Structure 1
Amino acid sequence: MTWTFEEMDRMFHPRVVAVVGDKKDRDYMWLRSVSTLKGKVYSVQVNPEEAANIVAMGFPNYSSLLDIPEPVDYVIVAVPRHVAPRVLEDAIRKGVNGVMFFTAGFAETGEPEGIRLQQVLTDMARKARMKIVGPNCMGLFNPRWGLRHSPEQYYDDGGPVGFISQSGTHATFFSLVGYQHGVKISKSASMGNGIILHADDYLDYLGQDPQTQVIAMYLEGVPNARRLFHLMQEIGQRKPIVVWKGGQTSEGARAVQSHTASLAASTALWQAAVRQANALWADSFDETLDLVKALCFLKEPVGPRLGLVAMTGGQSVVITDAFAKAGLQVPLLTPRSYQELATFYSTIGGSYRNPMDMTPTSRNLDMVRRVLDILARDDNIDAICYEFNMGFSAREGMVERLVDLLGEFREAYPRPFLCVLSAVHREAEAVGVRQALAQRGVPAYPSFQRAGNAFRKVWDYYRERRERGATRPAPAPAGPVRPG
């Protein structure tokens, strides 16, 4: 089955949500998650004690979906697996648009009863043409609509990143950790076993979604690989796609089978398909986040030559090694740049060959801006990476002023500009600084190695796009995120 954009979009924008089976030992997680919905929320719970608690929380409760006095768009199901078919039957009779099964214990168990029950749900849904998210998943996240699958997720404001995941944990963590890095979600789907809606269905939807400009996927195995890769090739002409494949080893493939009952194809086959689609391959959660961050905030790279600015001599060596090992170049500057630097830059305790060792001048923001401007004019430099060392910014107001300076420079500089945020003993403060930099369009990485790797992969991606004649994706807007 395939679905229209309108059919999928209604599920991501439900006017009425029903939560079936939420209870105290789960701390009423699902009701609390959708309490921010821009619409109505109903509960379905037959246990009198649970129902009383739910009503006390302010949610109307009914003993059946069929008793809810208005049409329901989206149902969240958290009941034992043997009850799931009865809930789906009621949802079909009610004319519900989509059903999400948090309920687990189906084919992923390998047990005959779990396999049988999953087939029952599949047959019922196909016959009724009912959209099923899951089972064994966390469902949908649309922050702008207040549709969440964790009470910790933000709401009211979203971003440009669509995320598709066969893991509920990865879907939740990507939204929460991404938020700490200034990366905001447009729409996210945790699909679990994916008996009706598969990765290709969500990709098709996000490819058409005007709020989504970058797409990332965590996949373990897909039933419709041909359609998925065709969509990747087509959508990838307009929107960057990052693929993180789970189960890359024989041991990991075995874990995939017990996690979502997926059959994992060979890693080499996946890598070849991703490369052919001109998507970006990621090997981990961190690399997925790093690449998405670069795609959201970096201006399009035009070359691999970096101007590097570090706060100490030791750091200047380490950042150079990191970027060189990533396959990037750290060239000497032009004679004109050296002449300009020589008029004010002290080499006592510092150096300005490239990398720039800013030890003598790191606390002088006027000097920082002069150095950045010289690098920006240098014909040997295609991009700039600046080490934002919070240990050198301890004076009151220094961090805020430096964030403003770097944001203003990023706006003026026509090429990519990124930071490495060295927090060391001030990690708690680093979250706010990363977010502030992201709001100014500056991606901040936690290490030189991660910054170098992300830039190299994104540079390769854009270079190959140009060679293939693909269109340039629209730049992602930066904006504040409201925590939920």
Structure 2
Amino acid sequence: MDLQKKQSLDAIFKPRSVAVVGASNNIQSWGFGMLNSLLAGRFRNRMYPINPNEKIIQGLPGFPSLRDVPDEIDLAIIVVNASLVPQVIEECIAKKVKGGIVITAGFAEISPEGARAQKEITEASKKAGFYFLGPNCLGVWSSEGNLSTFPNMTQRPHRGPISFISQSGTLGNYLFNASRKYGFGVSKFISFGNQASISYVDLLEYLGEDSTTKVILSYVEDIGDGQRFLQVAKAVTRKKPLLIYKAGSSEAAARAARSHTAALAGNDAIFDAVCLQTGAIRWFDFLEMFYMANCLCYQPLPRGNRVAIIHGGGGFCVTATEACTRLGLSVPEMSPQAQEKIREQMLPFSPPPLNPIDCIGRKDEKAYLKIIEIAAEQENVDCLIVMPTRDNFNRYTHSSEMIDTLKITEAIATIPQKYQKPIVVAANEQQISGPIDEIFKRYHLPTFASPVDCAKALWAMVKYSQVLQK
């Protein structure tokens, strides 16, 4: 990556000073929302609201222009009318601002005239070594820089190792909120819009080297430079998983993408082949991507595709087995020795513990833990799907035996690290009480609503494991 572009990106994610050009006291304006996000997010470094018509802006002294700010500026957030953006870009260059975020829309996504204006500001910026996100974007949330440019974002997600790149600001905002609701740990959220100056591939390359990012998720409508994407994505996936929701798989979706961010969606079949070649994992559900990322961040990667399925009812066993085999995962029989050990934990007349293993006839709750451990010990098992019987995770949470139940649950949660094999759990809210859920979250044990989702999660982990083994 070009050194000046990297310096611009460093300034965007870790600025020591920020100017909000177009900051306002008008609560209905974007300029209000941007500055409000910085203040509410407790950005700790210097802030400079820029507005020639207001002297005090949300409690901070205002400045008529960037030229009037007495200090150096790392990041300029630009939220003015599209016709004023070229002038502000010139001021950024003259002031030697290191990086920018152009929130303003009204460029290549709307008209040929807008495209020409976008080209002009991009060429002038590149010549001066000044790079920016956008235009037509929401900017970033950076845990490292304690920075949020998402308008009126007063609450922050949990800090964590997942970074998300989105060409759509609205979708990025939705997933930003969802990550907070479902407790996903986030390092960076990036809305990049028309990618006039800093491209999607630039962001991939940057996050590939980012020590605070373990998994990269992205929603993209236009890959941009396909040849460079091939090179960068292949390099990134050798270090960390890359999951992509690529829009434009149908003509209608491609048309929507063009009107939204001036995107050229490209041939869908070619993109599938590119993912296969680079090791990127293509996904088709936004929220699921975060669940998959959580698994990839915290669970050990499976060495192979062989799954043990443990449950207490035939129907769910069949569903889980079908989902696994449909995705190319193997469900091998337990060895005779393993079957004998499992039978010792079961009541007489229980079904043969082949795989799936039906635990409805286990002797007690400790036997449930023992059966999971026996399965995890097997050489022909790489990963496990665990489905509680009707209530065995919360059976005693309102009785004197609650402590034993919590100890058993905690022991199950330690199995992945003990045997270096991932476990995913299929359970509904009724099966997991508050303290049980807290244990799962503390140990980052993934929980899904259905065995089908469990199979998808294991498939993603197996697929990435295969990428690293090539």
TM-score range with shorter-chain normalisation?
0.7 to 0.9
1:88-107 to structure 2, matched below 5 A, reads 88-107=89-108
Contact 1:313 1:350 in 2 (8 A): no
What's 2:370 paired with? 370
Structure 1: distance between partners of 2:129 and 2:380: 59
What's 1:209 paired with? 210
Cα deviation 1:259-282 (Å, max 9, x = unaligned): 110112101111111211122222
Structure 1: distance between partners of 2:225 and 2:188: 22
Structure 2: distance between partners of 1:81 and 1:243: 31
Measure how far apart 1:121 and its partner are: 2.2
What RMSD over aligned residues (CA atoms) do the two structures have, in Å? 3.0
Residues 162 and 435 (structure 1 numbering): CA distance in 2 closer, same or farther, change over 3 Å? Answer: farther
> Which amino acid in structure 2 is aligned with residue 285 of structure 1?
F
> Which amino acid in structure 2 is aligned with residue 104 of structure 1?
A
Structure 1: distance between partners of 2:125 and 2:438: 42
Structure 2: distance between partners of 1:170 and 1:434: 28
Residues 64 and 381 (structure 1 numbering): CA distance in 2 closer, same or farther, change over 3 Å? Answer: same
Check if 1:413 corresponds to 2:393: no
Measure how far apart 1:153 and its partner are: 5.1
Contact 2:257 2:264 in 1 (8 A): yes
What's 1:452 paired with? 455
What's 1:334 paired with? 335
Percent sequence identity is: 27
Cα deviation 1:75-122 (Å, max 9, x = unaligned): 22222222222322222222211111111121111x244333323322
Q: TM-score, normalised by structure 2?
A: 0.87
> Which amino acid in structure 2 is aligned with residue 414 of structure 1?
Q
Residues 152 and 82 (structure 1 numbering): CA distance in 2 closer, same or farther, change over 3 Å? Answer: same
Structure 1: distance between partners of 2:349 and 2:3: 66
1:83-482 to structure 2, matched below 5 A, reads 83-109=84-110, 111-150=111-150, 151=153, 154=156, 158-346=159-347, 352-359=353-360, 365-387=365-387, 392=392, 393=394, 395-396=397-398, 401=407, 403-423=409-429, 437-466=440-469, 468=470
Contact 2:375 2:381 in 1 (8 A): yes
Of 38, 42, 46, the match for 1:34: 38
Cα deviation 1:287-318 (Å, max 9, x = unaligned): 43243233212312122221112243332232
Measure how far apart 1:13 and its partner are: 0.5
What's 1:476 paired with? none
Unaligned runs of 5+ in 2: none
What's 1:480 paired with? none
Check if 1:54 corresponds to 2:72: no
Residues 125 and 334 (structure 1 numbering): CA distance in 2 closer, same or farther, change over 3 Å? Answer: same
Structure 1: distance between partners of 2:105 and 2:155: 22
Contact 1:290 1:450 in 2 (8 A): no
Cα deviation 1:125-180 (Å, max 9, x = unaligned): 2232211110111112211321123425536x632223222112333344443455
What's 1:477 paired with? none
Measure how far apart 1:181 and its partner are: 4.9
Measure how far apart 1:400 and its partner are: 5.5
Structure 2: distance between partners of 1:268 and 1:153: 40
What's 2:11 paired with? 10
Structure 2: distance between partners of 1:188 and 1:433: 30
Unaligned runs of 5+ in 1: 469-484
Measure how far apart 1:424 and its partner are: 6.2
Q: RCO greater where, 1 or 2, for CA within 8 Å and sep 6 or more?
A: 1
Measure how far apart 1:376 and its partner are: 1.5
Contact 1:175 1:184 in 2 (8 A): no
Q: SS in structure 2 opposite 1:160?
A: strand
What's 1:76 paired with? 77
Structure 2: distance between partners of 1:145 and 1:108: 30
Contact 2:14 2:144 in 1 (8 A): no
Structure 2: distance between partners of 1:41 and 1:354: 61
Residues 125 and 416 (structure 1 numbering): CA distance in 2 closer, same or farther, change over 3 Å? Answer: same
> Which amino acid in structure 2 is aligned with residue 238 of structure 1?
K
Measure how far apart 1:257 and its partner are: 0.4
Q: SS in structure 1 opposite 2:159?
A: coil
Cα deviation 1:3-54 (Å, max 9, x = unaligned): 4544422321001112222440158332232222231222223454xx6561
Contact 2:175 2:287 in 1 (8 A): no
